[in-house]
Amino acid sequence: MAADVDTALSGAGCGAPAQDAALPASVDLEKETVLTGTVVNGEGEFVQGAYVRLLDGSGEFTAEVVTGEGGQFRFFAAPGRWTLRALSRFGDATGELDAVQGLNETKLAVSR
């Protein structure tokens, strides 16, 4: 594992990199598809500790991460249609994203 990814691993018992860490320099956006974004509450404040689930085009669970301090999340995926579902103490949110190769950014606003 690359050193920059190694140091970004979260200590929460999850194997996913810390979500508020910078995108590793080894990521080639000419070849990879990255889904990234933030989770905010009704007041527009970042939501730390929200669970963000990635569902494929058929609605099947693919992956899950926990947002970082700034409400950030990130997935590496294939180009295509994806559903993102955020679950938090402030409520839930669902969004769809048509991802293309490169960086794909979105925001999920959770509410009850």
pLDDT of res. 21: 61
What is the span of the domain harbouring residue 105?
3-109
pLDDT of res. 109: 97
- The 10s digit of each residue's pLDDT in 20-77 is 567 667 676 778 899 999 999 999 999 999 999 999 989 999 999 999 999 999 999 9
pLDDT of res. 53: 97
pLDDT of res. 15: 55
pTM for this model (two decimals): 0.77
Please tell me the total count of domains within the chain: 1
Distance, CA of 14 to CA of 108 (rounded, Å): 22
pLDDT confidence tier of residue 17, bands split at 50, 70 and 90: low
Q: What is the dihedral of CA 104, 84, 61, 35, to 10 degrees?
A: 10
pLDDT of res. 19: 64
CATH code of the domain containing 78? 2.60.40.10
Count CA within 13 A, CB hemisphere, residue 13: 0
pLDDT of 103 higher than 60: yes
Q: Which residue has the higher pLDDT, 18 or 84?
A: 84
